[in-house]
Homo-oligomer: A and B are copies of this chain.
Amino acid sequence: MMNISKTAESAEMPVKTVRYYADIGLVEPSARSAAGYREYDEKAVRRLIFIRRSRAFGFSIEECRELLGLYSDENRSSADVKAIAKKRLIEIEKKQVELQALHKDLSHLVKTCQGDDKPNCPIIDYLG
């Protein structure tokens, strides 16, 4: 059993975040000390790491909750996991398309802007 700062260190996330995840019922402490301190066991730490990695993929907290449920479900179907991941993948691809369009337009504008002390500016012209 570890206190919250050791737990946060093991899971490589801020103490505040561990506390937040406990508050929203995502990863609850395994126990509380007599003084009311949160205590976490190895399993809880593994769940926190699972969340950190899921978050790094951009899964929302609610998606993390679902994934965590599947993680601890011995009878899960991989299809359920795959569906969530696929959804995220499509979001990523959508964002990529969006960013590519933005990049194309903005980089063109930046290239054509003189960037001197005169007011003439294709960027402003485009926006206005």
Q: How far in angstroms is the closest Cβ of chain B from A63?
A: 11
Q: In the assembly, what is the distance between CA of A85 and CA of B58, in Å?
A: 26
Residue of B at shortest CB range from A64? B127
A21 CB within 8 Å of chain B: no
Chain B residues within 8 Å of A113, by CB: 78, 81-82, 85
Contact across chains for B102 and A99 when beta carbons are under 8 A apart: no
Inter-chain contact A106/B119, CB cutoff 8 Å: no
The reply to whether B77 and A124 contact each other, CB–CB distance below 8 Å, is no
**What residues of chain B lie closer than 8 Å to A2, measured between beta carbons?**
none
User: A-side interface residues toward B, CB under 8 Å?
Assistant: 46, 49-50, 53-54, 57-58, 67, 70-71, 73-79, 81-83, 85-86, 88-89, 92-93, 95-96, 99-100, 102-103, 105-107, 109-110, 113-121, 123-124, 126-128
